[in-house]
Structure 1
Amino acid sequence: MTIRELAYLAIRVMAVYFFVLGLNHLVNYLDFALPAYLQVLGEDISYGKVFLLVGVPSILLLVISVALWLSAGKLSRSLVPSRSGENETSPSFRGVEAFVLAVVGLILAILAITTLARMLLNYANMDAQNLYIDNRSFYISLVEQGIRLLLGIVLTVKAEGFAQLLRKIRGNRA
């Protein structure tokens, strides 16, 4: 199995994971969060608006999982660049290390995006309802998720560079 085939398989597994995670969140929102929101907010808000508010992160996870599944081939080619000098039948540790860092970055970015969507929708809804918002804790959480998103994007895009940096830190330049 080549490293590109391994990448393709890992992306497909990650797509299934995000799909199951999205369904799990959607069921939890429908069972617990949606009735609670409807009780707290009263009659001046529609069921559809509340569903949109609490369902967007779940729907985002489902859409991302389908996109990952459909673009697994293209994504695996971009995450694992081809090298003319390497033996394709036996993946090297260097290639696997860079790929794992890229996958971790992708997971961080996707989870941060869904969390940011949930936070921003909740903030907008609470602001529209004139409810008390603890701005300090909201901004701290917003910065935290922003840092996670940036870290995920940088890890995904520059995985090979981080793998080289880790090898230098370990003293292994191979």
Structure 2
Amino acid sequence: MITLAYRRADAALPDGSGFLVPPVDGRTIKASTFASRKWGWIADEDPDVMVLRTSVGRYGETEILGRSDADLVEVSRHDLREAVGLTAAPLETRVTRWSDGLPQYPVGHHARVARVREHVAQLPGLAVCGAVYDGVGVPACVASAYAAVDRLGGDLSAVRELTAAPVQSLHGGAGE
């Protein structure tokens, strides 16, 4: 994640809160978030500053993660210039490395998730949810959790039955 802060007057950006970059575009960045627009509290900190973030490192791309911070900033600036015409120099930059920080969804992900859910549905009282299945944003994770609870519905009575009796430990006594 490369964070770049610009003087707002120098950062004429298109409408919206950012953009995604498909691999066919040939850019190194995979997305840019106009953080000052997306999250009001960032803009409130300094109304004269526009904060942007770019993400690099698509599925299977490991070389980019080994580049220097300065190189990642330069690549981000180049791709922002090409994508949205941003030519100003940033006031400040910061590179944050989160290798393996987000799930990567390869081709076939949805079918794989459907198979997992089909098998899990056969197990009373169990459902799966989270970023690994349904998307990386907080709203996607919350929606995934609500959907899992909805799927459980009547299965909760089975869970109560299974957990009503004390668990036996490997040593023969009641477990904790």
What TM-score results when the alignment is normalised by the length of structure 2?
0.22
What TM-score results when the alignment is normalised by the length of structure 1?
0.23
Structure of greater Rg: 2
Structure 1 or 2: more strand by fraction = 2
Structure 1 or 2: more helix by fraction = 1
